[in-house]
Amino acid sequence: AKEHGRNGFAFFKPGNDLKNSQRLQVENELRMALERNEFVVYYQPRIDIETRIIIGVEALVRWNHPERGLIQPNDFIPQAEESGLIVPIGNWVLQTAVRQGKKWCEQLVPIKMSVNLSPLQFKQLDIIKWVSETLEDENFEPSLLNLEITESMAMNVEYSNKVLEGLKEIGVKISMDDFGTGYSSLGSLRKMPIDYLKIDRSFIHNIDNSPEDVAIVKAIISMAQSLQLQVIAEGVEKEEQLLLLQRLQCDEMQGYLVSPPIPAKDMEKMLSHNPF
């Protein structure tokens, strides 16, 4: 079943049920939203587990709809992907996030900026050129940009490794998002030029009262370490979970325990009160 936004309301029906006319309408709405600048980027802190300092943020898009209010990504990203509009939307997110990151780096501290790449963006033949031009235009340190991909995007190993190698040549870091929910194994990660592994929040959710989940997360972390990957735990909501992850030597965490994704202004306040 499709996840709904936190307001519990799906703006659009799942893509496959849409008739052509509805599909066109959705496409028009998204295109207008882009023109009218209705998308906004929220930021969720990434915390170094050992020091509890915010060392980065993840950029997460929202749609500030004039009538319907704030619409969560799960309620429009699938439609944006299907219509192809995820490419200009995603490019706008990257540019906005990098520009914001540059400001924070200058005013506060060097901060890593994670940006999600959609499968369709990843398939664009000019993806490497676009990323490098954006970094140059915004004068952002490439090694502070972390692009997040998912396992399904790496199915075509030859193509994905070519793109990933190209991105690494620019100096950008790569994260494997939602790890554990797809098909790839830790074995296949060995052949991929990635830097970070993000353990999906479904493995973290119960970690404080499930020995099985502890065992899985422990195994993921120890294998990631042997592959020289940094590990980020997603969806940490409780102090007990954080303490457990610290014991397991997980590198970083994100989650409601510290903060949900928040507007740039609020993130700025958090950054100046670092550590949390």
Applying CB under 5 A, the residues found at the interface with Ca ion are: 116, 148, 177-178, 234
Name residues contacting ligand C2E, limited to 98-157 (CB under 6 A): 116, 118
Name residues contacting ligand C2E, limited to 231-250 (CB under 6 A): 235-237
Tell me: does residue 72 bind ligand C2E (CB under 6 A).
yes
| C-alpha–C-alpha distance, residues 104 and 100, integer Å | 6
Q: Which does 256 bind (CB under 5 to 8 A by kind): Ca ion, ligand C2E, none?
A: ligand C2E
Tell me: does residue 60 bind ligand C2E (CB under 6 A).
yes
Three-class DSSP category at 204: helix
| C-alpha–C-alpha distance, residues 211 and 214, integer Å | 5
Q: Which is nearer to Ca ion, 177 or 252 (CB)?
A: 177
Q: Residue 220: left (phi > 0), alpha (psi -120 to 50), or beta?
A: alpha
Q: Which does 268 bind (CB under 5 to 8 A by kind): Ca ion, ligand C2E, none?
A: none
| C-alpha–C-alpha distance, residues 95 and 24, integer Å | 27
| C-alpha–C-alpha distance, residues 185 and 58, integer Å | 24
Residue with tokens 């997040």: 148
Q: Which is nearer to ligand C2E, 87 or 111 (CB)?
A: 87
- The number of residues that bind ligand C2E (CB under 6 A) is 23
Q: Residue 265: left (phi > 0), alpha (psi -120 to 50), or beta?
A: alpha
Q: List residues binding ligand C2E (CB under 6 A).
A: 44, 60-61, 72-74, 77, 86, 90, 93, 116, 118, 177-178, 201, 235-237, 254-256, 260-261
